[in-house]
Structure formats: C-alpha cells, structure tokens
C-alpha cells in the first residue's frame, strides 16, 4: 500500500512512490493536505475568533477584511469555515476509521474461521444493516440528546458492516492461498496469521472504500447538523452554518453558500484520493502478481 510504503521508506522512495501517482491522486492529496494544514494551524490562518460576534459588522458581503463576509451575528465566516475543518474532518475521520478497524477485524475473523463464528457474526451484521439508520440515530438522540456523542454511538453501531463484508470476502479468497498454509507450517499463532499475514492482503478494498465512506460521513455529519440533530450552534460546523444561513439565502447568499462549498471541496479531495488510490493499489497488485 502507498500509505505503508510512505511510513517505512526512505525519502527517495517516497518521491518515487509519489511519482507513480495518477494526477487525480496528486491533486486530491494536495487539496487534502492544504485543508488539513489549514485546520491544524487554524489559529494562525483564521483572521478572527470564530465565536466573536461583532454587531457593527453583521451581514457584510465578502470583502478584503472578511474574505467570506460575515453572518447575521457579525462573525467572520472565513474564520468559521477554517475552524469548521477541525470539526468536520476530525469527526468524519473518527466515524470512518474507528468502525473500519473493528469492521475489518470482524470480517477477517469471520472469513478465516467460517462455520459457526461466521454465521453468528454475519447474522449480527444483517441485523445492524436491517435497522433504518436515520431512525436509529433519531432514537439515540431522543435518548441521549443531540450532539456528537449520539452520532458516534449510532454510526459505530452500523458503519462497521461494510468493512466486515469487504474483509470477509477478501479473506475467503486469501485463506486458501499457499502463503497462509506456509505461515501455518511455520507454527505461527492464528492471530498472527490473520492480522500480520492476511490483513495486509485483504485491507486494500477497505482502504479504497474508506475514502468514499469518509466523504459520505462528512456529508452525514453536516446533514445531521443541518437538521439540528448533530453538532449544535454556535460551534462552527459546516452543515450547521448552512442551516443558520438558509433564512438569509436570497439577500445574503454567502452565509450558506461558502460553508457549503467547503463541504464540496473537502468531499472532492477525498473522492479524488479514493479514485486515485483504487487505481494505484490496482497497479501495485498487478506488479505483485
């Protein structure tokens, strides 16, 4: 995997690896890098305090001081969009990759052992999928109240299923390969065989899917926040900002348009990465075979 290669290889190898990336992967990675850096250095990048309300400067259109204009409470929209990266990308990351970890593990175990364990885990998976997600999250919110905790719980209950299916399907192919038998003849413990030997071979499709999932999860988070079920104002979450701005959409278009564009840009960068990664992993796979 490129990710793995980057972690362990020397700088020269990193450059060589990047040289093999497709243009989509390069552009997507660059966009994401800029977004992530802007999020990390938000206090430096953002010119204003995202929560500071300046009633002398409400509803200003984009201008030299306020790049994205100001909202109805006089807050600087550019600063809020920049701080929004910290919320949307971080929550999106967590609700994508935490379920990926245990989803892949569950799928790998089910696929490797088969039999009763496979049956039990897959029925559990069917149950999780059968539950309508929005109903589930509304139930969780009804019990725990709106907020990011409710989103975590609801997503963690459901989101692992796709990873488990992908990993299981790949494991079914992988477990009958010679190197798996060879690992057994070398007397390695089963956990080692599953997680050290098979995992690197079955993780590819999950990694590719996770990029698409990441995009969908950012949309989910902003969608739920837009509906008032997710992150609550005054936190600068993009979806919540769009919701706040929608009353002013005809007179002051920038309040909901620009945070909406932030969602589009973040989603596009991740989609490009997902697309490019799928191709790159495919190439590497062919080189190996």
Partner 1 sequence: MNSNNNPLLEVRGLVTEFSLEHGVIAANADVHIRVRAGETLGIVGESGSGKSVLCRAILRLIPSPPGLISAGEVLFDGTDLLALSEAEMRRVRGTRIKMVFQNPMTSLNPVRRIGDQITEGLSVHYGMGKAEARAEGVELLRRVGIPSPETRVREYPHQWSGGMLQRAVIAMAMAGEPQLLLADEPTTALDVTIQDQILALLLELQERTHMAMLLVSHDLAVVAETCDQVAVMYAGRIMESASTKALFEAPMHPYTVGLMNSIPDMAGTAARLVPIPGQPPDLLHLAPGCPFAPRCVHASPDCAETPIALSEIAPGHHTACLHPERISAGAS
What's the longest Cα–Cα distance across the chain?
A: 76
Half-sphere exposure (Cβ direction) of 242: Cα atoms closer than 13 Å? 19
The least CB distance from residue 139 to partner 1, in Å, is 42
Instruction: State yes or no: cis peptide before 52, omega within 30 of 0.
Output: no
Residue choice 7, 116, 143, 287 for contact with partner 1 (CB under 8 A): 287
List the Cα angle 254/257/258 in 5-degree steps: 75
Please identify, using beta-carbon distances, which residue of 53 and 205 lies nearer to partner 1: 205
Size of the site for partner 1 (CB under 8 A): 21
34 vs 38: CA distance, rounded Å: 6
The least CB distance from residue 165 to partner 1, in Å, is 21
The least CB distance from residue 172 to partner 1, in Å, is 14
Quickly tell me which residue has 């990926």 as its tokens: 100
CB atoms within 10 A of CB 123: 10
Residues 10-29 that bind partner 1 (CB under 8 A): none
Please identify, using beta-carbon distances, which residue of 47 and 200 lies nearer to partner 1: 200
Check binding of 90 to partner 1 (CB under 8 A).
no
Q: Which two tokens stand for residue 79?
A: 């600063």
Residues 170-199 that bind partner 1 (CB under 8 A): 177-179, 181-189, 192, 196-197
Give the total residue count for the chain.
Answer: 289
Annotate 253-285 with DSSP letters as a single string: THHHHHHHHHHHHHHHHHHHHHHHHHHHHHHHH
The least CB distance from residue 134 to partner 1, in Å, is 39
Residues 197-236 that bind partner 1 (CB under 8 A): 197, 200-201
The least CB distance from residue 190 to partner 1, in Å, is 9
Please identify, using beta-carbon distances, which residue of 5 and 30 lies nearer to partner 1: 5
287 vs 5: CA distance, rounded Å: 15
Nearest to 270 by CA among 151, 110, 96, 102: 96
The least CB distance from residue 7 to partner 1, in Å, is 13
Please identify, using beta-carbon distances, which residue of 64 and 115 lies nearer to partner 1: 115
The least CB distance from residue 175 to partner 1, in Å, is 10
Name residue 70's beta-bridge partners. Answer: 76
The footprint of partner 1 (CB under 8 A) covers: 1, 177-179, 181-189, 192, 196-197, 200-201, 287-289
């Amino acid at each position: 995997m490129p990710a793995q290669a980057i972690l362990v290889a020397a700088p020269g190898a990193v450059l060589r690896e990047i040289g093999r990336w497709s243009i989509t992967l390069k552009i997507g990675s660059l966009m994401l890098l800029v977004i992530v850096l802007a999020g990390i250095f938000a206090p430096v990048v953002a010119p204003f305090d995202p929560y500071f309300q300046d009633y002398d400067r409400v509803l200003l259109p984009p201008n030299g001081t306020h790049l994205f204009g100001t909202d109805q409470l006089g807050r600087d929209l550019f600063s809020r969009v920049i701080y929004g990266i910290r919320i949307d990308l971080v929550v999106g990351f967590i609700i994508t990759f935490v379920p990926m970890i245990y989803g892949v593990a569950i799928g790998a175990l089910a696929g490797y052992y088969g039999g009763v364990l496979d049956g039990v885990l897959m029925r559990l998976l069917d149950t999780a999928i059968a539950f309508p997600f929005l109903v589930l999250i509304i139930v969780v919110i009804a019990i725990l109240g709106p907020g990011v905790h409710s989103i975590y719980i609801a997503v963690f209950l459901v989101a692992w299923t796709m990873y488990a299916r992908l990993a299981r399907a790949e494991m079914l192919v992988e477990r009958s390969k010679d190197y798996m038998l060879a690992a057994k003849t070398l007397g390695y413990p089963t956990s080692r065989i599953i997680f050290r030997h098979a995992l690197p071979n079955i993780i590819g499709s999950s990694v590719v899917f996770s990029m698409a999932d990441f995009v969908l999860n950012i949309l989910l988070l902003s969608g739920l926040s837009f509906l008032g079920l997710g992150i609550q104002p005054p936190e600068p979450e993009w979806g919540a900002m769009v919701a706040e701005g929608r009353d002013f959409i005809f007179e002051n278009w920038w309040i909901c348009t620009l945070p909406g564009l932030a969602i589009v840009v973040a989603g596009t960068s991740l989609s490009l990465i997902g697309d490019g990664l799928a191709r790159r992993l495919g190439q590497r796979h062919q080189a190996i075979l």
